Structure 1
Amino acid sequence: MESIVSITLDNNAKKIIKYVPFFVKNFADFIPEFLFKTLAFLRLAKFSGDIDKAKTFRSKIIWEEAKKRGILMEQVIFLGNPLDYYRAKLKVKGKNKFFYFESIPIRPEFLDINKNWDDKVVMKQEFEKHGIPIPVFFELSFFSFLNLKNIGRIFSKLEKPIIVKPRIGSRGRHTVTNIHTLQQFRDGIDTARQICSYLIVEEHLKGSICRVTFVDGVLAGFYIGQVPTLFGVIIESNPYAFQKNCATIFCGQDLQLMMSCLKEFLCL
């Protein structure tokens, strides 16, 4: 349900809002407020001040920082399940007002409704405008899932491996990588569509994942994530010709023992 709420607000509401005049921009804030207050009135949801129920580690850090600043922050609990949606009481034009947000609080005046940066297609289009290389990709809508020929046609146009993921709101969830066959592609679509009716399929780029954080146009942080790698000493053993890829990998205590023996050997 958390994903359904998130996708509904992000993917549909923002697409509608960007076409309305600027003076009704605050309408974007009214949508989650109306939704969660209505659910609370129907006793389907409530607001909790229990920081230990924070959905993610980063949300907990934000909550701790809010407490340090004397800002009241509460979490949305829907049908007993903590969501990654919160509200914080802020003073706006001299009046206390609840500001609703998902995971990271961004003040309305800093939001660009014309560009939903959580939309992977929008982000890639902006990268392309500024000459930043992007992988070949295709969009998949709800109706695309029903057209097997279209799925096969898209699959044939991409170099393998490929990756399929929700267009919005995945944060790594329901993302399927290293797809090499058409059946794997179909299975990946079934997995990704569980949280979003709009998907993106793209060529799977190799290498590290880098993320940059800017605050007021100033570089505030840089993150690099690398693919899990197994380190060890490989001893090749090929007793038979047909076992060409047979190898023993020493790890942990075995690796330490192997390294100590190697050091003694090198000292000789």
Structure 2
Amino acid sequence: MFKPKPCQDCGPHAVLHRAEYVGAVINEMTRVLQTPTQAIWQRLERLIDPATFEGTYLAFLKQLERLGIGTITNEPHPHESSRTRALREEAERRNIDLREFRIGGRDSNHFIATWQEQTTTFEAVPRPQGKMAAVWMDEKDLMRKAFLQTGIPVARGEVCSRWKTAVATFHRLEKPFIIKPHTGSRSRHTTIHIETLEELEQAFTKAKRLSPWVILEEELVGSLYRGTVVGGKALAVVRRDAPQVIGNGRDIIRQLREKENALPIRHAGVFEPIPIDGDTDKELARQQLHWNSIPAAGHVVILNPKFGRGQGSLNEDVTDVTHPDNIILLETAARVINDPLIGFDFILSDISRSWKEQPRAGIIECNSAPFLDIHHYPYKGTPRNIAGPVWELVFPGSEKTLKQPNVQKL
């Protein structure tokens, strides 16, 4: 099995660049077939019980186990992700038997769940049988176009395959910009705060390593939020904070980072220490700071422009202060996509005010396999049990004995 080389632009979750590039080409070539394929699938759903497909895949996994290729176990993996942990804890409360298929003892993210007489198989996050995600949900440009047609706010931008198109878009729209591959996740090969043609060229080249097509958009203004919609209802919202330290008027930035990284919560399996890389140095320079600067008391210093947990980002639950218009926005977007489980990344200056009052605000991404654990184990704020409603979608009635959500702060 090929292992990706460490890549600063990928962050802690590196991918094989060539494989990503080829995958993007194949996705684009077959996209024209997706609409008729989805129609055929929906016809089959009416003719064939979706459980038949589940049974076939389950039989396949069991055959692999009999051949000694893998194992099926209900033992938690020693390096289990916090998302899987949240799903497993809730499954245990509902008497759902959750097992994982593993090859060579490795965490595969492929699961088998059984409740009473019902069984489902899934990758990463369970979904109701027969509920197909919109084929374009994870494709950023298709999502943006669909939302524009229905009045949902998104960033203005363009898909560019040629440098000439990128330059024309750069001069036509309002700076600063963000560039990212047209598919993908975890902010891989994404560049923000683009103000000059030189920065644009560097970012364009970087994004093109993962896809022939890149998205050049106006950078929205405000904080980054994640809202998770389950069964058409926006159940939780967190603010995602970039890796940062807060000045005390005495310590240099390097010392502040060391103290922050020594906190126990940075080593409890959900949040990670803040690393040092090229992005860190660039971000400090952008703020006219360096590692030996002494920030004033209360001054927030951003150490990385990316918001991944591997970069050391944190979060805070803000569900209770989210303006009703913003809840309606998420639920409306979910209806456009027509999928029962979606994580929305969106940018607003103030979550307690309506998005209608805030310029350069909007949804930037949709996620078909959202990280539910960010709601279960927030750095600050109220934990929210999102795994429960997800399991209820898959196994209706499994919540009948539940009383209190089983989520705890770390």
| TM tier relative to shorter chain | 0.5 to 0.7
Picking from 35, 42, 45, the partner of 1:18 is 35
* 1:127-184 C-alpha deviation (Å, 9 max, x unpaired): 22332222111113xxx2xx33333333333322211123333132332111223333
* 1:204-236 C-alpha deviation (Å, 9 max, x unpaired): 11201223222223331112224556544779x
* 1:35-84 C-alpha deviation (Å, 9 max, x unpaired): x97xx79x9x856746436674223322443455433332565x99755x
Q: Does 1:249 align with 2:313?
A: no
| Aligned mates of 1:184, 1:17 — CA distance in 2 | 36
Picking from 221, 227, 230, the partner of 1:215 is 230
Match of 2:130, SS state, is helix
Gaps of 5+ in 1: 236-244, 253-268
1:128 aligned residue: 148
| Aligned mates of 2:32, 2:83 — CA distance in 1 | 27
Describe the shift of the 1:172–1:149 C-alpha distance in structure 2 as closer, same or farther (beyond 3 A).
Answer: closer
| Aligned mates of 1:197, 1:80 — CA distance in 2 | 36
Describe the shift of the 1:174–1:148 C-alpha distance in structure 2 as closer, same or farther (beyond 3 A).
Answer: closer
| Aligned mates of 1:105, 1:123 — CA distance in 2 | 22
Counterpart code for 1:65: E
Picking from 138, 162, 176, the partner of 1:161 is 176
Picking from 65, 71, 75, the partner of 2:90 is 65
TM superposition score normalised by structure 1? 0.61
**1:29-68 to 2 correspondences below 5 Å:** 46=70, 49=73, 51-52=76-77, 56-68=81-93
Describe the shift of the 1:82–1:14 C-alpha distance in structure 2 as closer, same or farther (beyond 3 A).
Answer: farther
TM superposition score normalised by structure 2? 0.43
Describe the shift of the 1:152–1:48 C-alpha distance in structure 2 as closer, same or farther (beyond 3 A).
Answer: farther
1:138 aligned residue: 158
Question: Matched residues, percent identical?
Answer: 23
Q: Which moved more, 1:198-207 or 1:48-57?
A: 48-57
State the aligned residue count: 223
Q: Does 1:104 align with 2:125?
A: yes
Report the aligned-residue RMSD: 4.4
Describe the shift of the 1:222–1:165 C-alpha distance in structure 2 as closer, same or farther (beyond 3 A).
Answer: same
Gaps of 5+ in 2: 3-14, 251-287, 299-410
Q: Which has the larger radius of gyration?
A: 1
Question: How many Å apart are 1:196 and its aligned residue?
Answer: 4.3
2:310 aligned residue: none
1:260 aligned residue: none
Name which structure has the greater RCO, CA cutoff 8 Å, separation 6+. 2
